[in-house]
A and B are shown apart, each in its own frame.
Chain A
Amino acid sequence: MTLHSLQSWMQAVVTHPSGIVAGINSDAAQAWAGVSVENIESIIGRSQSLGSVERLAVYGNAYFARLLECLGEEFPAVKQLLGEDAFNTIGFQYLQACPSRSYTLNELGRSFPNFLRETRPQDVPAPSWPDLLINLATVERTYSEVFDGTGIEPLDDADADSSTWAKLLAAGFRALTPDELAAIGPEDMGAIQLQAAPCLRLLTLDFPAHEFISALRRSENAEVTPPPAQPTLLVVTRRDFVVRRSVVSKFEFAVLQALLAGESLSAALQTAADFASDDLPSSTNIAAGFEGWVKARWFIGFKLAN
Chain B
Amino acid sequence: MTATNSLTPRLGYPHLGFGVGLRATHYPYILEHEPAVDWFEIISENYMDSQGRPRYVLEQIAERYPVVMHGVSLSIGSTDPLNLEYLARLKRLAAWTQAVWISDHICWTGVNGVNGHDLLPLPYNDESLNHVIARVRQVQDYLERPLVLENPSSYVTFRESTMTEWDFATSLCEATGCGLLLDVNNVFVSCFNHDLDPLEFIRSLPHDRIVQFHLAGHTHCGTHIIDTHDNFVIDQVWELFRLAHELTGGVSTLLEWDANIPDFKTVHAEVLKARDFMHATPMNRPQVTESLKIEPQRRRAVPQPASFITAEAE
Contacts and interface: CB of A to CB of B under 8 A. Distances in A.
B45 A105 contact: yes
Contact of B118 (A62, A106, A238): A62
B249 interface: no
Contact of A43 (B45, B117, B158): B158
B79 to A, nearest CB: 4
A65 B222 CA distance: 20
B158 A245 contact: no
Given A3-B127, A101-B113, A104-B73, A147 B120 contact: no
The DSSP consensus for interface residues of chain B is loop
Interface string B87-120: 0000010011000000000001011111111101
Interface residues of B, number: 62
Contacts of A2: 79, 127
Nearest to B195: A48
Nearest to B155: A58
A290 interface: no
19 contacts: A44-B157, A45-B156, A45-B158, A58-B156, A59-B156, A73-B310, A100-B110, A101-B114, A103-B83, A105-B117, A143-B311, A144-B310, A146-B311, A147-B313, A148-B54, A153-B56, A241-B52, A241-B56, A242-B53
A11 B303 contact: no
Nearest to B312: A242
A3 B168 CA distance: 15
B24 to A, nearest CB: 11
Contacts, number: 183
B160 A149 contact: no
Interface stretch (A49-57, A172-180, A201-209, A278-286): A49-57
Given A69-B304, A100-B114, A155 B56 contact: yes
A63 interface: yes
B304 A8 contact: no
Contacts of A156: 59, 96
B224 A49 contact: yes
Contacts of A3: 79, 122-123, 127-128, 131
B159 A43 contact: yes
Nearest to A43: B159
Contacts of A243: 311-314
B278 interface: no
Contacts of A66: 117-118, 302-304
A144 B95 CA distance: 26
A103 B86 CA distance: 7
Given A66-B303, A148-B54, A50 B224 contact: yes
A158 B92 contact: yes
B288 to A, nearest CB: 27
A148 B51 CA distance: 5
B164 interface: no
Nearest to B226: A58
Given A10-B120, A104-B49, A150-B51, A99 B114 contact: yes
Sorting the interface of chain A by its residue count into under 10, 10 to 19, 20 to 34 or 35 or more gives: 35 or more
Nearest to B221: A58
A158 B95 CA distance: 8
A15 B114 CA distance: 10
A59 B155 contact: yes
A8 to B, nearest CB: 5
A86 interface: no
Interface string B282-314: 000000000000000000101110111111111
B278 to A, nearest CB: 32
B193 interface: yes
Contacts of B226: 58, 62
B8 interface: no
B223 interface: yes
Contacts of B52: 147-149, 151, 238, 241
A14 interface: yes
B55 interface: yes
Contact of A147 (B114, B115, B159, B311): B311
A148 B49 contact: yes
A159 B92 contact: yes
A114 B211 CA distance: 45
A1 B53 CA distance: 46
B262 to A, nearest CB: 18
A131 to B, nearest CB: 21
